[in-house]
Amino acid sequence: MSDFAARLTDGVRRHGPLCVGIDPHPGMVPALFGGDTAKGLEYWGRALVEAAAGKVAVIKPQAGFFERLGPGGMAALAAITRAARDAGLLVLMDAKRGDIGSTAEGYAEAYLSPGASFEADALTVNPYMGLDTLEPFAKRAEAGGKGIVVLVRTSNPGAADFQMLETGGKPLYMHIAEALRPLTERLMSPCGWSNLMMVVGATAPEEARRVRVAAPKALFLVPGYGAQGAAADAACAGLIGGEGGVVSASRSVIFPKAAEGARTRDDWQAAIEAAILAARNELQAAALA
Amino acid sequence: MSDFAARLTDGVRRHGPLCVGIDPHPGMVPALFGGDTAKGLEYWGRALVEAAAGKVAVIKPQAGFFERLGPGGMAALAAITRAARDAGLLVLMDAKRGDIGSTAEGYAEAYLSPGASFEADALTVNPYMGLDTLEPFAKRAEAGGKGIVVLVRTSNPGAADFQMLETGGKPLYMHIAEALRPLTERLMSPCGWSNLMMVVGATAPEEARRVRVAAPKALFLVPGYGAQGAAADAACAGLIGGEGGVVSASRSVIFPKAAEGARTRDDWQAAIEAAILAARNELQAAALA
């Protein structure tokens, strides 16, 4: 069985770095699918999976948008995740979990263990509580060919509050990137990239280059392209020769203007596919530039 | 309607600072209740609620242990949460969520909005992504009389990796405690304590005193008492005259030795109640010392 890094690298070679974010913002799921209900989210998410399959390597569901609808919303998340993996898409679960010892094991089991309801290919995790809190996720990654995606430098304005604090002559996010080096090496894939991925926001391309120097073998998950304002070339700043990470886009590809007036399933799907292909082509060109 | 800080302070005055952690470790839920299944967790959790009601002010379910069982586990979490609030217990949801903008709003809605499946009295959140990521939780706290519980200094060994890094002449966790001051003041309750609570581990009493000086009006959530090794007096280091926070105990009160051999529901309940009362009395004495 190939591991996460190998599967992702293979997919990015074929489709480019676009990662489709499945972010069901409240009130934005079309009435066509059932609107803002657990079932609506499920049908809409399954339709997005159909539209994305064969065009991109990976999707990224945002757990918070499903959790807000309770256990039913979480069931929708599980169904979409399963449908995506069945369709040959990789699933990068964006849940930003993090806790100590046995609780972290609970989250790792939920998202990274074979056969779990929410089984994904990789999971985003928060490093604030320390390296020991990443260990249960790392163990699951090693055992099951999964990936872990650690928050390093995020794309929101408030990222500067703590991530940019100077400590020992460098900002905190750089300290974290360097502290992750042993784990990045431990999770190295035969494909040449590590199964440890880092979140490095597209809104900070200079910082992405800096993290890239400190972590040459870590895959990057780059949020912030599209609706959050970053251009394709800035988003691809940390990639190397079209490899080494993915760039996520959400609102611009799942809620494109052209889909707003769609009255039929076919019109909707055509609008989504066009938006995905446009973003895919723009990013693929930028990644290879 | 009174707010979280007022409800908690009133409860702690009556029952002392013990907070019962609902942590269904894999394989430890008694067969009596159905063992390690979603239904087993629900029945066991409801029984713990019955045993704790009237003896303590607050319980703290650990979301990760429920999430590992998928949407069914999350339904059990919702049922236990509802049962606890119906029984007059406050629920401090330990989910350690955190994300940017609209995703954070999703989590805030899931756990802090009136009528939500997982509606709790307060939610633990991770500050690494910045102050703007706490805003959706703060808004829900203001609107609905809820609390937010921010990770500051955790009780695990790896807490030192990043929380203790020196920045601007003080460790990162102190910088975060100070950066939270405006929000702590904004969320002030008429009761004299803020609806912003801070996680300050019991394994570091000196540091708890330091945070207390920086944040005199923040409630403390103190994990690490009991199974994690801290004594009652160390756990109460940041409390003032028996007020100002709660101390959580989990394994020592929900899986006490005396409950291991229990063959009947009544034997089990007697063992749990005895363990809760012992911890309650020990902490109440330490908090007032």
Name the residue ranges covered by the structural domains of chain B.
4-288
At B8, the pLDDT band (50, 70, 90 cuts) reads very high
End-to-end CA distance of chain A: 32
Number of other CB atoms surrounding residue A14 within 10 Å: 10
- CA B133 to CA A141: how far, in whole Å? 28
Q: Which of B39, B55, B96, B139 is catalytic?
A: B96
Q: Give me the DSSP letters along A97-129.
A: E--SHHHHHHHHHHHHSTT-TT--SEEEE--TT
Q: ipTM strictly over 0.85? A: yes
Is B161 close to A151, i.e. CB distance below 8 A? no
Which of A94, A103, A130 is opposite residue B160, by nearest beta carbon?
A130
Nearest chain A residue (CA) to B223: A100
Q: In angstroms, what separates the C-alpha of A114 from chain B's closest C-alpha?
A: 12
At B244, the pLDDT band (50, 70, 90 cuts) reads very high
A39 touches chain B (CB under 8 A): no
B231 touches chain A (CB under 8 A): no
A126 touches chain B (CB under 8 A): yes
Please answer whether residues A215 and A221 qualify as being in contact, where contact means their C-beta atoms are separated by less than 8 angstroms: no
Number of H helices, E strands in chain A: 14, 10
Please answer whether residues A233 and A289 qualify as being in contact, where contact means their C-beta atoms are separated by less than 8 angstroms: yes
Whole-angstrom Cα Rg for chain B: 18
Contacts of A214 by beta carbon, 8 Å cutoff, 6+ apart: A174, A177, A178, A181
- CA A249 to CA A268: how far, in whole Å? 18
- CA B286 to CA B253: how far, in whole Å? 17
Which of B69, B94, B161 is opposite residue A179, by nearest beta carbon?
B161
Is B133 close to A158, i.e. CB distance below 8 A? yes
Q: In angstroms, what separates the C-alpha of B36 from chain A's closest C-alpha?
A: 13
Please name which of A113, A42, A126 lies closest in space to residue A84, comparing C-alpha atoms: A42
Local structure of residue B192 (DSSP, 8 states): S
Using one digit for the tens of pLDDT, what is the confidence trace for B251-282? 999 999 999 989 999 999 999 999 999 999 99
Contacts of B213 by beta carbon, 8 Å cutoff, 6+ apart: none
Catalytic amino acids of A?
96
Which of B68, B104, B159 is opposite residue A106, by nearest beta carbon?
B68
Please answer whether residues B165 and A175 qualify as being in contact, where contact means their C-beta atoms are separated by less than 8 angstroms: yes
At A228, the pLDDT band (50, 70, 90 cuts) reads low
Q: Is the dihedral of CA B229, A135, A212, A284 positive or negative?
A: negative
Fold of B4-288: TIM Barrel (3.20.20)
Is B154 close to A67, i.e. CB distance below 8 A? no
At A261, the pLDDT band (50, 70, 90 cuts) reads confident
B62 touches chain A (CB under 8 A): yes
A18 pairs with which residues across the strands?
Answer: A247
Assess whether pLDDT exceeds 70 at residue A288.
yes
Mean pLDDT of chain A: 96
Q: In angstroms, what separates the C-alpha of B132 from chain A's closest C-alpha?
A: 5
Please answer whether residues B152 and B15 qualify as being in contact, where contact means their C-beta atoms are separated by less than 8 angstroms: no
